[in-house]
Structure 1
Amino acid sequence: MRISIYLPILAGVLFAAIGQVALKAGADGKQALVEFFNPWIVFGLVCYGVGTLLWIFSLSQTRLTVVYPFTALTFVLVYVAGIVVFGEHIGFAQWLGVALILGGLYLVAVVQ
């Protein structure tokens, strides 16, 4: 598999993760519907849009069974962002889950 196949996939994953973190930042502490119309929410939606376009491009370039497992990487990146950006704490079981996701991604998507 060419490395050029993985670049748009990874970029799409990164944009999706950034979008999710931006949506959390924009939604945090808000209660009224009008409060959800803010720059963080708009930024998050734009990131999701860019990520979706990269995802569609990736699907046009290779098999679904290569592209789809990378959705799991989005969960890992958002989890790490929760720790780094929002100061959330996770325990051993959660770290083990992240390790299992990464191991599974390696087996499913990388090992051919």
Structure 2
Amino acid sequence: MGYLFILGTVLTTVYGQIAIKWGVSQRGGLPGGAWDNAMFLFGLVFDPWIFSGLLAAFVGALFWLAALTRFQLSFAYPFMSLSFVLVLVLSALVLHEPLNIHKIAGVALIVAGIVVSSRGLG
């Protein structure tokens, strides 16, 4: 069950990042000026995609709390890096962001780090 909590954390985190980026992309850039920027950012919270992404972050935090009741932090935390892999793939597929060899190599190094750091823990 503990691994399902970690998976839930990763998946809700990834969804949240993709949904927030999607919502922000639909709204454009900051308008400029401190007050206008603050009002713009506050208004973003009410965008359905952004709101769902923030809600996913909250649900992910609940999953994370549950995961930490089952595992040592030093074991569970490296799995959070899997979100880098999923965000890279989904940002290319869903958001049509460029995917290049440097990004792929960087994520491969992250995965290698997960494998090395999780050996013998648990």
- TM-score range, shorter-chain basis? 0.7 to 0.9
The aligned residue for residue 40 of structure 1 is 49
Select which of 8, 24, 32 maps to 2:21: 24
Contact residue 2 and residue 66 of structure 2 kept, 8 A: no
1:1-112 alignment, distance < 5 Å: 4-30=1-27, 31=29, 33=40, 35-36=43-44, 37-109=46-118, 111-112=119-120
Contact residue 10 and residue 82 of structure 2 kept, 8 A: yes
Shift of 1:35: 4.8
Greater RCO, CA 8 A, separation 6+: 2
What is the TM-score when the length of structure 1 is the normalising length?
0.87
What is the TM-score when the length of structure 2 is the normalising length?
0.80
- How many equivalent residue pairs? 108
Runs of 4+ in 1 over 6 A off after TM superposition: none
Which protein is bigger by CA-based radius of gyration? 2
Q: Is 24-33 or 65-74 further displaced after alignment?
A: 24-33
Distance in 2, Cα, partners of 1:101 & 1:55: 20
Q: Which runs of 5+ in 1 are unaligned?
A: none
**Over the residues paired in the alignment, what is the CA RMSD in angstroms?**
1.5
Shift of 1:60: 1.3
